[in-house]
Copies of this chain bind each other. A is one copy, B any other.
Amino acid sequence: MMKIIAQIISFFVFIAGLSTSRAQIQNNFHSENKYPKKEDRMNNYFSARMAILKESLGLSEEQKAPFSQIYSDYEESQMFVIREYKEKFGRKDLSQEETRERIYRGFDVSQKLLNNKRTYADRFLKVLTPKQLEKMFEMEKRMGKKIMRKK
C-alpha cells in the first residue's frame, strides 16, 4: 500500500512539474498570442518531454545531440500512427458497429506501434545504454500517452 501511495505522490509531483513547464511555455506565448494553436501546444509538450527525458536519463554531452535526433524521429513516427487512427475514430458518438471497428483498428495501431518501437530500440541502443533505454520507455509510458490523450 505504501508503494501505491508513493507512486501516486510521485505521479502528482510529476504532473505538477509538467504543469509548471506548460505554464512557463504559455507565459512565453502570452505577449504574442494569448491562445497558442494546437500544433504549437504539441511542439511545446514535445520540447518539455524531451527536456525531462534528457535530465532524467543523465545523458552525457556526447549523447545529447544524437539522442535528440533519434527521439524526434521516433516520436514523429509514433504520432503519425496515432494521429491517423484518432482522425478516423476520435469521435464520441460512434455506433456499436463503428465501436467494434474501432476496437479492431486499435489492435492494428498497437501492432504498428510495437513494431516501430522494436525497430527504434535498435537505433536508440547505438546511443543509449540498455538501462537508459529501459528507463526512457518506462517514463514514456507513464507520461507521454497520458498527455497525448488530452489533445
Contacts and interface: CB of A to CB of B under 8 A. Distances in A.
B107 A114 contact: yes
Contacts of A11: 8
A130 B4 contact: no
Contacts of A150: 3-4
Chain copies in complex: 2
Contacts of A100: 125, 130
Interface string A3-40: 11000100110010001001000000000000000000
Interface stretch (A53-61, A65-73, A74-82, A131-139): A131-139
A118 interface: yes
B114 A130 contact: no
Interface of A: 1, 3-4, 8, 11-12, 15, 19, 22, 96-97, 99-100, 102-104, 107, 110-111, 114, 117-118, 121, 125, 129-131, 133-134, 137, 150
